[in-house]
Amino acid sequence: MKPKFSLVGRYSLLSLTLIVGSVAILSSLYAAVADSVTERLAGERLEAQVAGTANRLTNFIENRIYQLETLSTHPSMPLYLAFSDAVPDGVRELVRVEADSPDLYGILFFNNRDELTEVVPGQAASGPPYWDRDNWTIRGLPLITLGNSEVIGPQRADNSGPGWILIRQPLRDPSRQEVAGAIGLHVRLASLTELMRTENLAGVLRPYLRTPAGDLLEPTGNPVQSPPENLQPGPEVLPGWRIDYQVAAGEILSPLRSAQWGLYALAGVMALGTVALFWALARSLRRRVTRLVDGAETLASGDLHFRLQTPKNDKDEIDVLAHSFNAMADRLQDMIGRTVQAEKMAVLGEFATGVAHEVRNPLATIKLTVQALEKGEPDDQRRDLLVAVEEEIDRLNRVVGDLLDYGRPVAGEPQAVGIRRVFRHATVLTSGLADQRQVTVSATGDSRLAVYASPDQVIQCLVNLLANAIEACEPGGTVHLRAFRNGNRISVDITDTGCGMDAETLQRVTEPFFTTRQQGTGLGLSITRQLIELNGGDLQIHSVPGEGTTVSVTLPTANSDKLELASPSHTKEQSTAKHHDALTDPDR
């Protein structure tokens, strides 16, 4: 029978729902919080970056002004305006060194009419006014004043040459104390705009330089052809010069969005992994549960010997359940066996009572008649036949007695009885059989050991077990009795060197009327087990085919100071068997 709903399937669906729901909730919260926090943090970072860019440009201009002031205040500089040949070599070298800066194209000198009178090219000089002064002019370019300095430009890059700005200061004639002209630094425009590069926020912040003429310059110095959208004004670098910037919000949030999609992908992988894991677990669990169900159905069909294969150590709940199933099957088999045994005993009791009433009385009459005929019979051959008939009558009486004992067992009066006395009586009673079979019987143990049971029934059980052990041995074999303390109980082992028993025989050996011998009722071991259990004991049989058998009897222990002298009336005192009593006596 298959279940309508799989328990593992329910757990799988629930786990999958929890994973997907949790990821969806966390994703929405993550997106909302991440957008807000990122925009706030990015805004603060961008403002600081733009302010830093403006400061770099301002510092660049201030450094050029400081460089220009160093040159304009030199007393020999006005000589470049009127008497350039009179300029000392040291001054020429100074100007040439200053002009060789990588940020300058050169140093220019102007007269009072803004006409270019002298140029000192630097290492970056190219194009006008160094190779051609005719088409070079500063007229029409934006001009701002910073104290004593003028910033002219910018001149955008075109076919005539690269872009530039001019920073100049006046030169005074020392003799007349009046302005004789001006000196200017011909600055590369790209040296200024390159300072707008933002390596830390590349791709996020795009700065531009707004000139006094309204043009937008890129960090490369080239003009922007079409103004970008969402352009935001920034801080001023110089009067009329300003940093404008564009923020690419998508570039800021792109890593976060990628991480978000990564979370989605991870959640998907986890969901698939969960489904695969639960599917594998479901198959394993269904297989193991099916084994339990099949076992229960097999047990219910009547096979009480069925057991589940279980590991030695419990690994999980299913293994514990399997062990519990086997324990339940053992208890069920034992209970049913006891019930069947009780029913057998009831039937056998009624049967034994009928047999005793219907058979024993006629047998007694027949025996008396045979004995009378035996005494008056002169013929020896007929007398032997009558003796044989009398022996068979005695055997039938014993069978009827066994039936009565097995069918209606009665527990004897328990008392403390010493193991030494039990061993002696049992070996004496079986000594004749031992001599006949040429089997040696020996005993070992502690003489202080005592059991609390019916002495007659204990001796009867031990005699039955000894007789079986002796009959199982070949001539020259041995039977050994050993008594020892087993916790709070006394154990007696009867070990023989006989032929042993196979598993099937061992399983049925204590069943009533089961015997492997041609003669015998098959009630000996059954009665023995019954009597031992009536006295609170236990009987276990271990056998190996071809090696021998060990029967273990466990009985309640008794205090040695309460030993009773058990002297059954049917005990013989003489023995011709080889008997070795090795019971130790601490008082000797």
Full DSSP string of 243-280: EEEEE-HHHHHHHHHHHHHHHHHHHHHHHHHHHHHHHH
User: What pLDDT does residue 335 have?
Assistant: 87
- Which pLDDT score, from 0 to 100, does residue 12 have? 67
Residue-level pLDDT at 357: 67
Please write the tens of the pLDDT for every residue from 311-370: 777 677 788 888 888 888 888 888 887 787 777 767 766 776 776 667 777 888 888 888
Burial pattern 279-314, b for ≥16 Cβ within 10 A else e, equals eeebeebbebeeeeeebeebbeeeebebbbebeeee
Q: Look at residues 57, 95, 58, 54 and name the one whose alpha carbon lies nearest to residue 76.
A: 95
Domain boundaries, the chain: 1-263, 304-408, 412-584
pLDDT tens-digit profile of 19-53? 777 777 777 776 666 666 555 555 667 788 888 88
**Exposed / middle / buried, residue 129 (Cβ in 10 Å: 0-12, 13-18, 19+):** buried
Task: Say yes or no to pLDDT of 201 above 90.
Answer: no
Query: CB–CB of 250/191 below 8 Å?
Result: no
Selection from 12-16, 155-159, 193-197 with the highest mean pLDDT: 193-197
With bands split at pLDDT 50, 70 and 90, how would you rate the model's confidence at 182? very high
Give the model's pLDDT for residue 510. 79
Order of strands across the sheet that contains 205-210: 216-217, 205-210, 241-247, 231-238
The Cα–Cα gap between 293 and 311 comes to 18
Domain boundaries 1-263, corresponding CATH code: 3.30.450.20
252 pLDDT band, cuts 50/70/90, is: low
pTM: predicted TM-score of the whole model, two decimal places: 0.43
Looking from the CA of 410 toward its CB, the CA atoms found within 13 Å total 7
Cα–chain-centroid distance for residue 49? 51
Whether the pLDDT of residue 128 is over 60: the answer is yes
At the top level of CATH, the class of 304-408 is mainly alpha
Class of residue 10 by CB neighbours under 10 A (exposed 0-12, middle 13-18, buried 19+): exposed
Closest CA to 433 of 228, 529, 575, 226: 575
- Cα separation values, 58 from 63, 68, 146, Å: 9, 15, 12
Lowest mean pLDDT among 214-218, 222-226, 359-363, 438-442: 359-363
Please tell me the distance from the alpha carbon of residue 77 to that of residue 184, in angstroms, as a whole number. Answer: 12
User: Which pLDDT belongs to residue 588?
Assistant: 36
State the distance between the two ends of the chain, measured CA to CA, in whole angstroms.
Answer: 72
* Residue recorded with tokens 């036949």: 385
Fold of 412-584: Heat Shock Protein 90 (3.30.565)
Q: Is the dihedral of CA 459, 461, 465, 467 positive or negative?
A: positive
| 478-486 and 450-453 strand pairing | unpaired
Residues 234, 237, 238, CA angle at the centre, nearest 5°? Answer: 130
Compute the distance between CA of residue 265 and CA of residue 167 in angstroms, rounded to an integer: 59
With a cut of 70, say whether residue 407 has pLDDT above it. Answer: no
Closest CA to 206 of 156, 250, 254, 258: 250
Helices (H), 408-491: 419-429, 431-437, 455-472
Cα angle for residues 482, 486, 490 (degrees, 5° grid)? 60
